[in-house]
Protein backbone atom coordinates (compact mmCIF):
# COMPACT_ATOMS: atom_id res chain seq x y z
CA UNK A 1 0.00 0.00 0.00
CA UNK A 2 2.59 2.52 1.14
CA UNK A 3 6.27 2.62 0.29
CA UNK A 4 8.79 3.66 2.93
CA UNK A 5 10.70 6.68 1.61
CA UNK A 6 14.43 6.74 2.30
CA UNK A 7 14.67 10.42 1.34
CA UNK A 8 16.04 12.27 4.35
CA UNK A 9 14.61 15.75 3.64
CA UNK A 10 11.85 16.50 6.18
CA UNK A 11 8.27 15.82 5.11
CA UNK A 12 7.18 18.95 7.00
CA UNK A 13 9.08 22.18 7.65
CA UNK A 14 7.49 24.99 9.63
CA UNK A 15 9.87 27.95 9.86
CA UNK A 16 9.44 31.04 12.07
CA UNK A 17 5.66 30.83 11.77
CA UNK A 18 3.39 33.33 13.46
CA UNK A 19 -0.37 33.11 12.93
CA UNK A 20 -2.64 36.01 13.81
CA UNK A 21 -6.32 35.56 12.88
CA UNK A 22 -8.19 38.49 11.30
CA UNK A 23 -9.86 39.28 14.64
CA UNK A 24 -6.42 39.86 16.17
CA UNK A 25 -6.08 36.55 18.06
CA UNK A 26 -2.49 35.41 18.01
CA UNK A 27 -2.66 31.61 17.72
CA UNK A 28 1.03 30.86 17.03
CA UNK A 29 4.22 32.79 17.68
CA UNK A 30 7.52 32.14 15.94
CA UNK A 31 7.07 28.39 15.69
CA UNK A 32 9.71 26.11 14.16
CA UNK A 33 9.04 22.43 13.57
CA UNK A 34 10.45 19.73 11.34
CA UNK A 35 8.86 16.33 10.88
CA UNK A 36 10.79 13.53 9.24
CA UNK A 37 9.32 11.37 6.51
CA UNK A 38 7.86 8.29 8.08
CA UNK A 39 7.69 9.86 11.53
CA UNK A 40 4.76 9.47 13.97
CA UNK A 41 4.34 12.69 15.92
CA UNK A 42 1.97 13.77 18.68
CA UNK A 43 1.14 17.45 19.16
CA UNK A 44 -0.22 18.05 22.65
CA UNK A 45 -1.23 21.15 24.57
CA UNK A 46 -4.13 22.74 26.46
CA UNK A 47 -7.31 23.86 24.76
CA UNK A 48 -6.68 27.01 22.75
CA UNK A 49 -2.90 26.55 22.73
CA UNK A 50 -2.72 26.47 18.92
CA UNK A 51 -2.65 22.74 18.01
CA UNK A 52 -5.42 22.85 15.41
CA UNK A 53 -4.02 26.02 13.90
CA UNK A 54 -0.69 24.28 13.47
CA UNK A 55 -2.39 21.39 11.67
CA UNK A 56 -4.54 23.73 9.54
CA UNK A 57 -1.36 25.34 8.24
CA UNK A 58 -0.23 21.91 7.08
CA UNK A 59 -3.26 21.27 4.87
CA UNK A 60 -3.41 24.88 3.69
CA UNK A 61 -6.67 25.62 5.45
CA UNK A 62 -4.91 28.62 6.97
CA UNK A 63 -1.92 30.68 5.86
CA UNK A 64 0.77 31.91 8.25
CA UNK A 65 0.89 35.63 8.95
CA UNK A 66 4.66 35.35 8.97
CA UNK A 67 7.10 32.56 8.14
CA UNK A 68 6.72 29.63 5.80
CA UNK A 69 5.33 26.11 5.69
CA UNK A 70 6.74 23.44 3.40
CA UNK A 71 5.13 20.02 3.00
CA UNK A 72 6.79 17.44 0.80
CA UNK A 73 8.90 20.13 -0.91
CA UNK A 74 5.82 22.22 -1.64
CA UNK A 75 5.82 25.80 -0.30
CA UNK A 76 2.20 26.11 0.89
CA UNK A 77 2.29 29.89 1.17
CA UNK A 78 2.77 30.12 -2.60
CA UNK A 79 -0.03 27.71 -3.54
CA UNK A 80 -3.00 29.22 -5.35
CA UNK A 81 -6.28 28.01 -6.91
CA UNK A 82 -6.32 24.44 -8.26
CA UNK A 83 -2.86 23.77 -6.84
CA UNK A 84 -4.42 23.88 -3.36
CA UNK A 85 -6.90 21.06 -4.09
CA UNK A 86 -4.21 19.06 -5.87
CA UNK A 87 -2.00 19.42 -2.82
CA UNK A 88 -4.80 18.38 -0.44
CA UNK A 89 -5.30 15.15 -2.40
CA UNK A 90 -1.89 14.08 -1.16
CA UNK A 91 -2.84 14.57 2.48
CA UNK A 92 -5.21 12.37 4.50
CA UNK A 93 -7.13 14.43 7.04
CA UNK A 94 -9.04 13.03 10.01
CA UNK A 95 -11.25 15.27 12.17
CA UNK A 96 -12.62 14.85 15.68
CA UNK A 97 -16.23 14.99 14.42
CA UNK A 98 -15.72 12.48 11.54
CA UNK A 99 -17.46 14.68 8.91
CA UNK A 100 -19.22 11.72 7.24
CA UNK A 101 -22.12 12.20 4.82
CA UNK A 102 -25.18 10.80 6.67
CA UNK A 103 -27.10 9.82 3.50
CA UNK A 104 -24.22 7.75 2.13
CA UNK A 105 -23.13 4.26 3.15
CA UNK A 106 -19.72 3.47 4.60
CA UNK A 107 -18.45 2.35 1.17
CA UNK A 108 -19.87 5.46 -0.52
CA UNK A 109 -18.34 7.77 2.09
CA UNK A 110 -14.94 6.25 1.37
CA UNK A 111 -15.35 6.02 -2.42
CA UNK A 112 -16.37 9.62 -2.77
CA UNK A 113 -12.75 10.74 -2.40
CA UNK A 114 -11.62 8.51 -5.24
CA UNK A 115 -14.55 9.51 -7.45
CA UNK A 116 -13.71 13.18 -6.95
CA UNK A 117 -10.16 12.44 -7.99
CA UNK A 118 -11.26 10.70 -11.19
CA UNK A 119 -10.26 7.13 -10.31
CA UNK A 120 -11.83 4.43 -12.53
CA UNK A 121 -14.56 2.20 -11.10
CA UNK A 122 -12.19 -0.75 -11.30
CA UNK A 123 -9.51 1.11 -9.31
CA UNK A 124 -12.09 2.23 -6.76
CA UNK A 125 -13.19 -1.39 -6.25
CA UNK A 126 -9.57 -2.49 -5.97
CA UNK A 127 -8.85 0.03 -3.23
CA UNK A 128 -12.07 -0.12 -1.22
CA UNK A 129 -11.87 -3.66 0.12
CA UNK A 130 -8.33 -3.60 1.59
CA UNK A 131 -8.96 -0.16 3.08
CA UNK A 132 -12.17 -1.23 4.85
CA UNK A 133 -10.43 -4.40 5.96
CA UNK A 134 -7.57 -2.39 7.44
CA UNK A 135 -9.97 -0.38 9.60
CA UNK A 136 -12.02 -3.49 10.46
CA UNK A 137 -15.21 -2.40 8.69
CA UNK A 138 -15.50 -4.71 5.70
CA UNK A 139 -18.69 -6.23 7.09
CA UNK A 140 -20.25 -2.76 7.52
CA UNK A 141 -19.62 -1.47 3.99
CA UNK A 142 -23.34 -1.05 3.27
CA UNK A 143 -24.35 0.46 6.60
CA UNK A 144 -25.15 4.15 7.06
CA UNK A 145 -23.19 6.28 9.58
CA UNK A 146 -26.16 6.54 11.97
CA UNK A 147 -26.04 2.76 12.42
CA UNK A 148 -22.39 2.84 13.53
CA UNK A 149 -20.80 3.54 16.89
CA UNK A 150 -18.58 6.61 17.35
CA UNK A 151 -15.45 4.48 17.09
CA UNK A 152 -16.70 2.87 13.88
CA UNK A 153 -17.57 6.26 12.40
CA UNK A 154 -14.08 7.49 13.16
CA UNK A 155 -12.67 4.39 11.46
CA UNK A 156 -14.75 5.22 8.35
CA UNK A 157 -13.27 8.69 8.38
CA UNK A 158 -9.78 7.17 8.59
CA UNK A 159 -10.62 4.85 5.68
CA UNK A 160 -11.73 7.89 3.68
CA UNK A 161 -8.50 9.70 4.58
CA UNK A 162 -6.21 6.86 3.55
CA UNK A 163 -7.95 5.25 0.57
CA UNK A 164 -5.89 7.29 -1.88
CA UNK A 165 -2.69 6.28 0.02
CA UNK A 166 -1.50 9.75 1.03
CA UNK A 167 2.07 9.95 2.32
CA UNK A 168 0.99 12.39 5.05
CA UNK A 169 -1.88 11.78 7.49
CA UNK A 170 -3.03 14.63 9.73
CA UNK A 171 -5.46 13.84 12.52
CA UNK A 172 -6.96 16.66 14.60
CA UNK A 173 -8.11 15.24 17.98
CA UNK A 174 -9.22 11.98 16.30
CA UNK A 175 -9.91 10.37 19.68
CA UNK A 176 -11.64 13.45 21.12
CA UNK A 177 -15.10 11.83 21.21
CA UNK A 178 -14.04 8.25 21.93
CA UNK A 179 -13.57 6.06 24.98
CA UNK A 180 -10.25 4.45 25.84
CA UNK A 181 -10.76 1.20 23.87
CA UNK A 182 -11.87 2.98 20.73
CA UNK A 183 -9.10 5.56 21.06
CA UNK A 184 -6.56 2.78 21.32
CA UNK A 185 -7.96 1.12 18.18
CA UNK A 186 -7.59 4.39 16.28
CA UNK A 187 -3.99 4.77 17.45
CA UNK A 188 -3.23 1.20 16.41
CA UNK A 189 -4.62 1.78 12.91
CA UNK A 190 -2.60 4.97 12.56
CA UNK A 191 0.51 3.15 13.82
CA UNK A 192 -0.05 0.45 11.24
CA UNK A 193 -0.27 3.05 8.45
CA UNK A 194 2.90 4.60 9.83
CA UNK A 195 4.63 1.21 9.69
CA UNK A 196 3.70 1.09 5.98
CA UNK A 197 5.59 4.37 5.50
CA UNK A 198 3.04 7.15 6.02
CA UNK A 199 4.03 10.19 8.07
CA UNK A 200 1.42 10.66 10.81
CA UNK A 201 0.79 13.80 12.87
CA UNK A 202 -1.88 13.73 15.58
CA UNK A 203 -3.09 16.48 17.90
CA UNK A 204 -4.47 15.28 21.20
CA UNK A 205 -5.27 16.26 24.78
CA UNK A 206 -4.91 12.66 25.91
CA UNK A 207 -1.65 12.49 27.85
CA UNK A 208 -2.28 8.89 28.95
CA UNK A 209 -2.56 7.67 25.40
CA UNK A 210 0.56 9.57 24.40
CA UNK A 211 2.47 7.98 27.27
CA UNK A 212 1.41 4.50 26.13
CA UNK A 213 3.08 5.08 22.76
CA UNK A 214 6.74 5.57 22.11
CA UNK A 215 6.64 8.48 19.65
CA UNK A 216 8.00 12.02 19.58
CA UNK A 217 5.79 14.55 21.34
CA UNK A 218 5.68 18.29 20.71
CA UNK A 219 3.85 20.42 23.25
CA UNK A 220 2.25 23.68 22.19
CA UNK A 221 1.76 26.24 24.94
CA UNK A 222 0.11 29.58 24.31
CA UNK A 223 1.10 29.52 20.64
CA UNK A 224 4.70 28.47 21.19
CA UNK A 225 6.37 25.10 21.03
CA UNK A 226 7.30 24.57 24.63
CA UNK A 227 8.63 21.09 24.74
CA UNK A 228 9.89 18.51 22.29
CA UNK A 229 10.70 15.06 23.62
Nearer to ligand ATP, 43 or 128 (CB): 43
Nearer to ligand ATP, 14 or 159 (CB): 14
Query: Within 13 Å, how many C-alpha atoms sit on residue 50's CB side?
Result: 24
Cβ distance 95 to 169 under 8 Å? no
Q: Of the candidates 40, 42, 79, 43, which has an alpha carbon nearest to the alpha carbon of residue 59?
A: 79
114 CB burial (10 A radius; 0-12, 13-18, 19+): buried
- For 14: left if phi > 0, alpha if psi spans -120 to 50, otherwise beta; the answer is beta
Our finding on whether 221 is near ligand ATP (CB under 6 A) is: no
Our finding on whether 174 is near ligand ATP (CB under 6 A) is: no
CB of 181 to ligand ATP, least distance (A): 22
Nearer to ligand ATP, 72 or 173 (CB): 173
d(CA 25, CA 198): 33
Our finding on whether 51 is near ligand ATP (CB under 6 A) is: yes
CB of 67 to ligand ATP, least distance (A): 16
Our finding on whether 47 is near ligand ATP (CB under 6 A) is: yes
192's CB contacts (< 8 A; 6+ apart) are 134
Our finding on whether 30 is near ligand ATP (CB under 6 A) is: no
Q: Three-class SS of residue 2?
A: coil
Residue of the chain from 10, 12, 49, 225 that contacts ligand ATP (CB under 6 A): 49
d(CA 52, CA 111): 26
Our finding on whether 25 is near ligand ATP (CB under 6 A) is: yes
Residue of the chain from 3, 16, 48, 125 that contacts ligand ATP (CB under 6 A): 48
Our finding on whether 109 is near ligand ATP (CB under 6 A) is: no
Q: Which stretch binds ligand ATP (CB under 6 A): 5-13, 42-50, 72-80, 190-198?
A: 42-50
Terminal CA-CA length for the chain: 30
Our finding on whether 50 is near ligand ATP (CB under 6 A) is: yes
Our finding on whether 52 is near ligand ATP (CB under 6 A) is: yes
* Residues in contact with ligand ATP by the rule CB under 6 A: 21, 23, 25, 27, 45, 47-53
Amino acid sequence: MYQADVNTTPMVKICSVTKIYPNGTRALLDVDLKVRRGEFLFITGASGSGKSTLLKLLYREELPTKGYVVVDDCDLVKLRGDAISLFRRQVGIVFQDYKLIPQRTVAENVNIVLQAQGYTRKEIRRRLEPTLKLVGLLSKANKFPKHLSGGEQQRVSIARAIVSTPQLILADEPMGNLDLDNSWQIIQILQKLNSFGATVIITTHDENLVRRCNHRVVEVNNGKIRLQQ
